[in-house]
Amino acid sequence: MSEEVSKRAEEEADTPDLEGQSDDSSDEGDASGDTEMDFLRSLFSRTLGLSPGDKVLDELTLDGVARYILSGKCKSIICMVGAGISTSAGIPDFRSPGTGLYANLQKYNLPYPEAIFQIDYFKKHPEPFFALARELYPGQFKPTVCHYFMRMLKDKGLLARCYSQNIDTLERVAGLEGEDLIEAHGTFHTSHCVSFLCRKEYSMDWMKTKIFSEDIPKCDSCGSLVKPDIVFFGENLPARFFASMKMDFPRCDLLIIMGTSLQVQPFASLVNRVSNSCPRLLINMEKTGQTEFGMGLLGFGGGMDFDSDKAYRDVAHLSTCDDGCMALAELLGWKAELEEMVKREHALIDNEDAKKKDKDASQSSKSTGAEAGKSDKTE
């Protein structure tokens, strides 16, 4: 009997006194829920590498970014750029309502706007792409303030690399060289035969002659189409893109994203490849690349986080790319230098264009004179 009493006493001692619980039991439940959510956050963060890093910027503003650059701690800057950095040069972006490229392709009678950059459609109907290429061909436009700001970063030894979605080659015209650039969506700089059995390479001058003579470029060797080395939908990105991103982004001290909607993968995912402590500055007309809903619920990012109470490294400066770069240059004490660079480089381009026009006019005059001479002899 005494054993039963003793056993019952032990059971009662181990059983929670539900009636005696205070009204703060709901608070304990909330605390338990918070603990479970913290555990989930920690688990996913460790698994996916999304745990918050150290706060590097003293404030999440353009001023804060400028102070960080001037501190000497920021030695490796990567720029990610899209079509928005070239709109002030007169080149339309892709997705702006009304003015974007995709909104103004009706004259090409495409089944849908993106078809003009679809490789399968191109192989069957190359005419629309080459007609568009005549309108947008590199060499007809000058680099913008934004392009020259990146050139200035290079000159000051701060630019690790520029990752560009653009095919207009204006980064090269502004003074960035092949080693400074990852042209993620390719370039007009070279062209190749589309036949896998051939793949003969052609120069930019060769392609330009074909495009402006309104000939559809065909391979001299096999007769297949020749396409500029820009990446169409349905094609792989350059191998150098993948090799370089693995090396560049973990070493990045500041990521500057300009003029891109961050909608095209895998380029858009590059924002997540920097370390969790690396500040990220967006200069754009609107916020983009923000954390996906599911990630936001769990309280950690992956995408950009400008506004939540957990934001600690992302800065959005809403303006044109040129205005944003000039504002940052002013905070850095570089404004006069940048303005002088733009003025000087544009003058050089104008002089080269004038020389080329004079040369073309001279050759045309000589050709006309030669034809007239032949005519006189004939008579």
The set of catalytic residues is 185
Distance CA 10, CA 25 (A): 24
**Was 193 annotated as part of a binding site?**
yes
**Was 284 annotated as part of a binding site?**
yes
**Was 198 annotated as part of a binding site?**
yes
Residues counted in the chain: 379
**Was 104 annotated as part of a binding site?**
no
CA geometry: angle 241, 218, 200, nearest 5 deg:
45
Residues 6+ apart with CB under 8 A from 80: 163, 164, 255, 256, 257, 258, 260, 267, 270, 271
Question: In sequence order, what are the beta bridge partners of 315?
Answer: 281
CA geometry: angle 340, 160, 185, nearest 5 deg:
95
Half-sphere exposure of 35 (CA within 13 A, CB side): 6
Contact 240, 161 (CB under 8 A): no
**Was 169 annotated as part of a binding site?**
no
- Exposure string over 47-81, b if 16+ CB within 10 A, otherwise e: eeebebeeebbeebebebbbbbbeeeebebbbbbb
Query: For the CA atoms of 86, 148, 130, 192, what is the dihedral angle to 10 degrees?
Result: -140
**Was 162 annotated as part of a binding site?**
no
Distance CA 67, CA 52 (A): 22
* Cβ neighbours, 10 Å, residue 324: 25
**Was 240 annotated as part of a binding site?**
no
DSSP letter for 95, please: S
**Was 83 annotated as part of a binding site?**
yes
Give the strand order in the sheet containing 226-230.
201-203, 186-193, 226-230
Amino acid identity for residue 189 in this structure = H
**Was 219 annotated as part of a binding site?**
yes
**Was 252 annotated as part of a binding site?**
no
**Was 265 annotated as part of a binding site?**
no
Residue 37 is encoded by which pair of tokens?
Answer: 């959510």
Distance CA 262, CA 304 (A): 11
Residue 292 is encoded by which pair of tokens?
Answer: 């996906």
**Was 260 annotated as part of a binding site?**
yes
**Was 144 annotated as part of a binding site?**
no
**Was 207 annotated as part of a binding site?**
no
Annotated binding-site members: 83-87, 93-95, 165-168, 193, 198, 219, 222, 260-261, 284-286, 321
Annotated binding-site members for Zn(2+): 193, 198, 219, 222
Annotated binding-site members for NAD(+): 83-87, 93-95, 165-168, 260-261, 284-286, 321
